[in-house]
Amino acid sequence: MLQSIAETILETYAPTPKYERLHAFDPPVDLSHFSSFTKGQPFDAFRQMRENAPVCWCPEPPEIGGGFWALTRHADIRSTSLAPETFSSQKGGILMTYGSSTDMRHPTLHRASLDTMINMDPPIHFELRREHLPFFTPRYIADLKTRVDAKVTSLLDAMAPMGTCDLVEHFSAELPLYTLSEILGLPESDRPKLVKWMHFLEIAGYIVAERRLGSVDPAFFGEFLAGVEDMFDYGRTMLLKRRADPQPDLLSAIANAKVDGDVLSDGYLDGSWLLIVFAGNDTTRNSISGTMKLLTEFPEQKARVQADLSLLPSMVDEAIRMVSPVMYMRRTATRDAEIGGQKIAEGEKVVMFYGAANRDPEVFADPDRFEASRANAGDHIAFGIGPHVCLGQRVANLQLEAAYRQILTRFPDMRWTGEIDIAPNNFVHAIRKIGVEFTPERG
């Protein structure tokens, strides 16, 4: 039987590093705090860290305990991700913190966020990952393309008369939801519920932290608890249905996956559901919205792509490089090790900031510039690298390309109005609202 990671995870950490810090430089922002990200990612702080302390010790607030090493260099994040036997995803999970055990964490959410393949180490990890693979092959994705193109058209048809709207509500949230639901095999009528659940998940960490301070409205908290519970009930029911009656879809593959000789426990079904629903929706939604912002900020690059649509694939790589919607993944040292000359002790946390790596001037010249034809934009590591490299990267690229192929031709003057609302979240760059305006279509 597969062991529960929630029951075995390392949860206590020393507040100071065991070995001396190589660089006496303190992080200019608190990277553990949600409010540090509500105006976008702290790229300037990342630059300072990369220049002064590329492996930088970041203390965490005492109520969480411990601290972590922040990595901001492309080469260090690459080598750390490629050494899972030294830098484990399983020993402490992939989040910076899971809250302290005395916090009133949502029990199902806490357990599900750990009992899932993204927190598993090789070789057992691959047993579960393998079951997902047939739904992410180039051939499977090519089959999806026609449906994704048609969905883009129908979403744009609905937006066409508006002239101004929130792109998240009308487009960026809807397209990934549709695409993921097609892969999973979710009935059309159930899909809208997922949008609301996504909003709750995006602020779950913030709610736990605010509860600690006693500043969450009890009515809202009740709604949050009920929403999260509904999400798990729904996922478990669907997966068990597919176990009894398999269909050619990803839900059935997960429901019938055998790891270590057994089908998944209910705990791992919850975890697998949470991972796929969150990873497949939220990331692509934020990439679509973030790309609109970049195209507005760099109008000459937008004009180049409009004049030559063959630039779309490299524009998509470049947009994902600059947006880097998953801000970090964390690893835990399984033994004493070294990164960039800094000694790291067994049990210490290492947090890899992808947005920082993706603006490392050692790899990307003039890294803050959006360059639609950047020759090495595809070297970004926004999808991670190594055994856990994102399963859905082709699905994400497909959707972004399909979206902007139609947006840039059908609404050539669509632009960001300057209105934006970013959720308090230090894990994903979560754009809740982004205003756009464009010449409406009449008739």
Instruction: Indicate left, alpha or beta for 65 from its phi (over 0: left) and psi (-120 to 50: alpha).
Output: left
Applying CB under 6 A, the site for ligand HEM has a residue count of 28
What residue number has its CB nearest to ligand HEM?
392
Between 207 and 238, CB nearer to ligand HEM:
238
Beta strands in 304-392 (DSSP E): 328-333, 337-339, 342-344, 349-353
- Are the CB atoms for 292 and 414 separated by under 8 Å? yes
CB atoms within 10 A of CB 364: 22
> Least separation, in Å, of the C-beta of 142 and ligand HEM?
15
Binding flag, residue 372, ligand HEM (CB under 6 A): no
> Least separation, in Å, of the C-beta of 84 and ligand HEM?
9
**Contact string 140-179 vs ligand HEM (x = CB under 6 A):** ----------------------------------------
Binding flag, residue 251, ligand HEM (CB under 6 A): no
Binding flag, residue 81, ligand HEM (CB under 6 A): yes
| Stretch touching ligand HEM by CB under 6 A, among 61-69, 72-80, 138-146, 376-384 | 376-384
- Is residue 62 packed enough to be buried (19+ CB in 10 Å), middle (13-18) or exposed (0-12)? exposed
The H or E element containing residue 274 is helix 266-297
Binding flag, residue 391, ligand HEM (CB under 6 A): yes
DSSP assignment, residue 428?
A: B
Between 70 and 118, CB nearer to ligand HEM:
118
The H or E element containing residue 183 is helix 174-184
Among residue numbers 319 through 338, which ones bind ligand HEM (CB under 6 A)?
320, 325-326, 329
Instruction: Indicate left, alpha or beta for 426 from its phi (over 0: left) and psi (-120 to 50: alpha).
Output: alpha
Binder of ligand HEM out of 284, 314, 332, 342 (CB under 6 A): 284
Give rounded-to-5 percent helix, strand, coil for the chain. Answer: 50, 10, 35
The H or E element containing residue 46 is helix 43-52
Binding flag, residue 95, ligand HEM (CB under 6 A): no
Cα–Cα distance measured from residue 34 to residue 47, given in angstroms and rounded to the nearest whole number = 19
Binding flag, residue 84, ligand HEM (CB under 6 A): no
- Are the CB atoms for 290 and 282 separated by under 8 Å? no
Between 17 and 325, CB nearer to ligand HEM:
325
Binding flag, residue 280, ligand HEM (CB under 6 A): yes
Please write down the long-range contacts of 98-105, taking CB distance under 8 Å and 24 or more positions apart.
Answer: 98/9, 98/11, 99/64, 99/205, 99/208, 99/209, 100/11, 100/63, 100/64, 100/65, 101/11, 103/208, 103/211, 103/212, 104/208, 104/211, 105/208
> Least separation, in Å, of the C-beta of 442 and ligand HEM?
34
- Nearest to residue 250, comparing CAs of 259, 242, 241? 242
Start-to-end C-alpha separation, the chain: 61
Binding flag, residue 294, ligand HEM (CB under 6 A): no
Binder of ligand HEM out of 93, 347, 355, 384 (CB under 6 A): 384
Binder of ligand HEM out of 46, 178, 383, 411 (CB under 6 A): 383
> Least separation, in Å, of the C-beta of 385 and ligand HEM?
7
Cα–Cα distance measured from residue 264 to residue 2, given in angstroms and rounded to the nearest whole number = 8
> Least separation, in Å, of the C-beta of 127 and ligand HEM?
11
Binder of ligand HEM out of 64, 198, 254, 276 (CB under 6 A): 276
Binder of ligand HEM out of 6, 49, 64, 94 (CB under 6 A): 94
Cα–Cα distance measured from residue 325 to residue 382, given in angstroms and rounded to the nearest whole number = 7
**Contact string 49-68 vs ligand HEM (x = CB under 6 A):** --------------------
Where on the chain is the footprint of ligand HEM (CB under 6 A)? 81, 89, 94, 117-118, 129, 180, 275-276, 279-280, 283-284, 287, 320, 325-326, 329, 382-384, 386, 388, 390-392, 395-396
